[in-house]
Structure 1
Amino acid sequence: MLTNRQGHPVTNNHNVRTVGNRGPITLENYDYLEKISHFDRERIPERVVHARGAGAHGYFEAYGTAGDEPISKYTRANLFQEKGKKTPVFVRFSSVVHGGHSPETLRDPRGFAVKFYTEDGNWDLVGNNLKIFFIRDPLKFPDLVHAFKPDPLTNVQDGERIFDFISQTPEAMHMITFLFSPWGIPANYRQMQGSGVNTYKWVNKEGTGVLVKYHWEPKQGIRNLKQDEAEQVQAKNFNHATQDLYEAIEKGDFPEWELFVQILSDDEHPELDFDPLDPTKLWYKEDFPWVPVGKMVLNKNPEDYFAEVEQVAFGTGVIVDGLDFSDDKLLQGRTFSYSDTQRHRVGTNYLQLPINSPKKHVATNQRGGQMEYRVDKGKSQNPHVNYEPSVLGGLKESKNDGIEHTPRIEGNLVRETIDRRNDYGQAGKTYRRFSEWEKDELIKNLVTTLKPCVQEIQNQMVNHLIQCDKDYGTRLKDGLEKARDKMSSRNSIGGNDADEAVNQAEQMSHPSDPY
């Protein structure tokens, strides 16, 4: 039976009250006023980045080991300890730069965020499909996003703005190499890798920490699209990835990913030619093996897109005992930004929404705020006491089952970049690891986007890429020289899609393994 939000039955949902059937409506049209007032407010602010998304429920199943070792050697996090232990999860996949109804075929990183509802509270593993990032310092994040967002004057994304920023940012060469290759357009969400991107820590019961990187590997295989295939898909269906995920789950074809970690001792590792905390760098498999620790299965679609996919809120600061942060500057910047934006976008009490609320009982001394609908308090807590410490029946501190991880930190406060930048080495290595058809596609996409740019930007990009790999930069230079006379209009980074192209992609060469 239809009701209004007060629970009152709605007996006529087709006509407002008027003076006669032609007359003006009257102010006491409560059902109409409530319905239209809510409608006027039914959109919350869109995410600044990752606005377009799709999501699903599922579970994570632990292996109980890290390769041949008991996982307890590295972490005391409860969700990993017992073989076969299942933890509920919600996953949100997304594109980054454009708005909530933008095509899912654009050349763009993809978000891969997982919320684990563990017995110890929520853990959010918030990452992307690509395993590295454009920058290493969070101070530059707003500038990066502004450069990739549409022009504030024309509202059109502009390759010249993008490469104006990138050409001044040598550390971005590695990410650009991935983004403009076929890896920049995953064929769908089910056949897409995921990564934590940043370096994190695991901590065991003795309080010893190790550095870790997280990787999701799709059991469905990996598929990417060439630019022309993406454009064919977009011409017919700009929601193809969301539709593909939803329909696969509806018919019982549940997508799965295996979770791997790379483990490294927690020190500076001077033997490496890069800093292991640098998010623009890969830890190559041959040097740091991928160790399987569990698998994830997505087996249930959301019941309501807005309530779950749109209002789900992730944060890199949301970790559980046995997990910790590294000194990665970008990770520490993200850890403030994510939760801050959720309070702005969804509201002060966003953690009381069912999709965000932990599955365990929550007891805090926090009160009030917009849209509070319950008080998170202890089961036997004195209602007069909302502070700690107290002898009057207030909440007590929880006990720590393990020894606190206490890394030593010492140094002068400075504004400096890291010492081992090596901005070009891995970009060149990634280029050389690509298949020939991936290299061809990379050069074609770079030329298409760079050819409308002023020559100074073109020259800077050529110089950067020659330092990455001579063949890489020379091929870009030759391509730009050939295109220069033919250029007739400006092009942006774009990318679009169609269903038959997805089928054609099955016939493509298998993607390289550049990791």
Structure 2
Amino acid sequence: MGHITTTDAGISAPSDEHSQSVGPNGPLLLQDHYLIQKMAHFNRERVPERVVHAKGGGAHGILQITEDVSQFTKAGLFQMGKETPLFLRFSTVAGEHGSADTARDPRGFAIKFYTEEGNYDLVGNNTPIFFIRDPQKFSDFIHSQKRRADTHLRDHNMQWDFWTLSPESAHQVTFLMTDRGTPASWRHMHGFGSHTFLWYNAGGEKFWVKYHFRTDQGVRNFTEAEAAAVNDLDFHIRDLHTAIASGDHPSWTVNVQVMPFEAAADYRFNPFDLTKVWPHGDYPEITIGRFVLNRNPENYFAEVEQASFEPSNLVPGIGASPDKMLQGRLFSYPDTHRYRIGPNYLQLPINAPRNEVHSYNFDGPMTYANPQDPVYAPNSMGGPVADPALFAGDSYKVAGEIIRSAYTLHAEDDDYGQPRALWENVLSETDRANLVSNIVGHAGAPEVTAEMKQRVVEYWTNIHKDLGQRVSDGL
């Protein structure tokens, strides 16, 4: 038997698989000190670039709501006719600052909406799913995609080692290995909120939602060969800036899927599992508006590099779901910004809300605006007072023993069904051929061992035997 994982204090670790939750399906707990330690340390691994999503670009724009969805949410930015300024940052995930824009990778799709009720941040990707479903595994997953400790080289064997030992990754890895893993430009790809979120209306009725941002430019992808042939590390940054500067303003249609609150409990699979999509036959997309990017940043460092996005910025009418990955990100993202940019990162112009701030936080490095006395609550001197009624709709009952566990399985929960459906029902034969070629090229790297290649074949065979056979033949 190998060594037992410990905390950094040398204490045996409780789990490297599962975060601590209220029952199998409930929210995570702040008392999960091992999860907090892993995430807090991970957030501080790089100075000063982002530990993930380091390379990217962005632009300013405007959200326009064209449909009435007040029956689902009271959030001001989603009311009929409302226009809200926004900033959107695109990025690659694994590469460093100088990496190529065209590398095979998911693309970050992070939006900050400057609403009249404060900032609302949607921190998504160009994929509707992710590689894992529990944040306990997040830093380990990213480490497998980054550089080795000894050679300082990326290692495909490490990547396949993690993926093949984590079958929940199959859906996202299938997506990644198609040509959607190499988009032709940021303008020609969809964006997704990915997580499930809570919406509640003025009457307190609750709904579960997923966000879809459909590119109005149409989807365009590179093949592996086309992406490799691009002799410009900044190809996507240049493309977006050039398009906007020339008046060709890209836009996206904003759609949502809405699930009745009560339907989640016995839905055929876990609707909060980040490795799953909701079938459109069950919950069709509803168009609620569109957004357009119409202004380039004036200073890259001030507006793109120092931009901070955090899923914990939730305005009244919108709340978190018990998606464990989302629960982890509620802590991880603002904690990262406090380290990378500083505790007063929200005072920077790109991050500052457009409405007035009345906070009891004060001092700290790089303070620009401090509150006036009193600087504590409660007080009897007329200081600001919280209004819990604004968020009355974001609560729901949870029950269960405090445990470390996977989600309770629903009737149709499994790791291979949805990627199998992607192979069988969505991909064209050209898409399938390119998927196989991309897998074989990646898993055929010199550092990938013979034993690992066999595990790769088994991984894809579990999705579909024909896919596994074609990968086996290629390898």
Aligned residue number for residue 111 of structure 2 = 114
Letter in 2 for 1:258: T
> Do structure 1's residue 388 and structure 2's residue 377 form an aligned pair?
yes
Offset, 1:268: 6.0
Secondary structure at the aligned position of 2:186 is classed as coil
TM (normalized to structure 2)? 0.87
Aligned residue number for residue 192 of structure 2 = 195
For the residues of structure 2 that align with 1:318 and 1:117, how far apart are their CA atoms? 11
For the residues of structure 1 that align with 2:397 and 2:429, how far apart are their CA atoms? 47
Aligned residue number for residue 61 of structure 1 = 64
- Quick one: which of 413, 419, 429 aligns to 2:408? 419
For the residues of structure 1 that align with 2:408 and 2:263, how far apart are their CA atoms? 11
Letter in 2 for 1:281: K
Aligned residue number for residue 27 of structure 2 = none
Matches within 5 A, 1:30-429: 45-65=48-68, 71-83=69-81, 85-233=82-230, 236-267=231-262, 269=264, 272-375=267-370, 377=371, 383-398=372-387, 400-401=389-390, 403-420=392-409, 421-429=413-421
For the residues of structure 2 that align with 1:269 and 1:124, how far apart are their CA atoms? 24
Contact 2:183/2:220, CA 8 A, preserved across alignment: yes
Offset, 1:464: 2.6
For the residues of structure 2 that align with 1:275 and 1:404, how far apart are their CA atoms? 22
Contact 1:206/1:402, CA 8 A, preserved across alignment: no
For the residues of structure 2 that align with 1:271 and 1:321, how far apart are their CA atoms? 27
For the residues of structure 1 that align with 2:88 and 2:277, how far apart are their CA atoms? 24
Offset, 1:398: 3.5
Secondary structure at the aligned position of 1:414 is classed as strand
Secondary structure at the aligned position of 2:119 is classed as strand
Contact 1:124/1:315, CA 8 A, preserved across alignment: yes
For the residues of structure 1 that align with 2:406 and 2:52, how far apart are their CA atoms? 25
Secondary structure at the aligned position of 2:258 is classed as strand
Offset, 1:459: 1.9
For the residues of structure 2 that align with 1:402 and 1:201, how far apart are their CA atoms? 12
Distance 1:279 1:269, change over 3 A: same
Secondary structure at the aligned position of 1:211 is classed as strand
Contact 1:108/1:184, CA 8 A, preserved across alignment: yes
TM (normalized to structure 1)? 0.80
Contact 1:206/1:403, CA 8 A, preserved across alignment: no
Offset, 1:403: 4.0
Offset, 1:419: 3.0
Residues 165-202 of structure 1: CA distance to partner in whole angstroms, max 9, x if unpaired? Answer: 11101011111101011011111111111001111110
Residues 398-449 of structure 1: CA distance to partner in whole angstroms, max 9, x if unpaired? Answer: 4735743331100111111123340010111111120111111111111112
Contact 2:117/2:315, CA 8 A, preserved across alignment: yes
Q: How many residues align?
A: 424
Contact 1:268/1:275, CA 8 A, preserved across alignment: no
State the identity as a percent. Answer: 43
Secondary structure at the aligned position of 1:190 is classed as helix
Offset, 1:392: 2.1
Contact 2:201/2:393, CA 8 A, preserved across alignment: no
Secondary structure at the aligned position of 2:229 is classed as helix
Contact 1:52/1:99, CA 8 A, preserved across alignment: yes
Aligned residue number for residue 497 of structure 1 = none
Offset, 1:154: 1.4
Contact 2:198/2:394, CA 8 A, preserved across alignment: no
Letter in 2 for 1:365: Y
Contact 1:120/1:360, CA 8 A, preserved across alignment: yes
Distance 1:172 1:230, change over 3 A: same
For the residues of structure 2 that align with 1:362 and 1:384, how far apart are their CA atoms? 14
Contact 1:151/1:158, CA 8 A, preserved across alignment: yes
> Do structure 1's residue 474 and structure 2's residue 469 form an aligned pair?
yes
Whichever of the two has the greater Rg, that structure is: 1
Secondary structure at the aligned position of 1:247 is classed as helix
Offset, 1:161: 0.8
Q: Which runs of 5+ in 1 are unaligned?
A: 1-42, 66-70, 378-382, 481-515
Letter in 2 for 1:162: Q
For the residues of structure 1 that align with 2:111 and 2:472, how far apart are their CA atoms? 41
Letter in 2 for 1:46: E
Offset, 1:460: 2.1
Secondary structure at the aligned position of 1:72 is classed as coil
For the residues of structure 2 that align with 1:333 and 1:418, how far apart are their CA atoms? 15
For the residues of structure 1 that align with 2:126 and 2:391, how far apart are their CA atoms? 33
For the residues of structure 1 that align with 2:263 and 2:144, how far apart are their CA atoms? 33
> Do structure 1's residue 435 and structure 2's residue 428 form an aligned pair?
yes
Contact 1:424/1:467, CA 8 A, preserved across alignment: yes
RMSD between aligned alpha carbons?
A: 1.5
Residues 91-142 of structure 1: CA distance to partner in whole angstroms, max 9, x if unpaired? Answer: 0000000111211010000000000000000000000001100000000000
For the residues of structure 2 that align with 1:268 and 1:165, how far apart are their CA atoms? 34
